[in-house]
Structure 1
Amino acid sequence: MVADSIHILFALALVAGLLRTRQPTPYLVAALAATVPDIDTFVLSPLRYRDILTSAFWAHRGITHSLTALVMVVVAAWTIGQELPAAIAYSSHLLADTATGSTMLLAPFSSEAYGLHFSWLLGNVVVGLFSIVLLVGWVLVLTLSDPQERTAPGPLTAAYSRLLDTVRDW
């Protein structure tokens, strides 16, 4: 299990590097979306202990760690125009937890758990260091780059904008 703080750090690093925005909203959405999958430990666990929810889907790394939940969170974030940071953050959580254990990625359609089962401690260290390197690199790029380049959209933002324009023209 990757620590919540590492999930947030990883999501913020990815959003910073991929979206390159100075607006605070995408980072707030990313921080929230990175923690949503673990809501099962706070909300669903008490219900499981009281035998109100009995299916394995409601266990930790069950339904809240699925692609179905990812889609639902992205659709919710889309209503406020923040689907990209939400998708990046939620996906980063699923990726980290799948690497350090197993998750029911296809719940509720399958109870099959997928994972690489790396050490959770090693996962925390590797993802944390990777995130710090990404953030430091992003800060260096911002401070050392041409001011015109600093305002240019990130690669994912530009590609997403082109995709939306194509869909609108179609």
Structure 2
Amino acid sequence: MTTARASLLLHAAVAALSGLLWCTPPMALAQQPSPRLLEQFTHTAWGALDNAPVDILNVAQTSDGWLWLAAGTGLYRFDGKRYERVDNVEGHPLLSSSVRTLYAPPEGGLWVGYRVGGGISHFQRGQARHFAAGQGLPGGAITSIARGPDGVLWVAARDGLARLDGDHFVT
């Protein structure tokens, strides 16, 4: 393509775009969102007097909407208005009140990892499964629970990693 022809095509394209801009209604060009004033928002702060934990270590939201908080003082759940310290989930007791980490899978349920003594619990559909160190889990506090891109559940502990294989963990 010659330089003159390329220049002519470029000018024609710019002219066509300019024509489109002139034909477009002004409202479509500069539609600004209405300003949101700070007064339109509300803020609520919760503290220890409201039963809110002050030493939050991890947070997870289950598919039923509950916000779960792992704290040095135990496991809490929050419904958007109030905090409640819980010693059991769906009627099943926690292995320890020393909760370190949480994982809420998209299909529902809650995994709880413990600091003191290690171990994890899985609560789902009214059932509970508990796994302790020595049952495939490495020793020490559970520091993280996560699912990999391949769907495998992984657990990190002070002494290593383990993955869920069927109904048991392997290191």
Q: TM-score range by the shorter chain?
A: under 0.3
TM-score, normalisation: structure 1: 0.22
| Structure with greater Cα Rg | 2
Structure with the bigger percentage of helix: 1
| Structure number with higher relative contact order (C-alpha < 8 Å, ≥ 6 residues apart) | 1
Structure with the bigger percentage of strand: 2
TM-score, normalisation: structure 2: 0.22
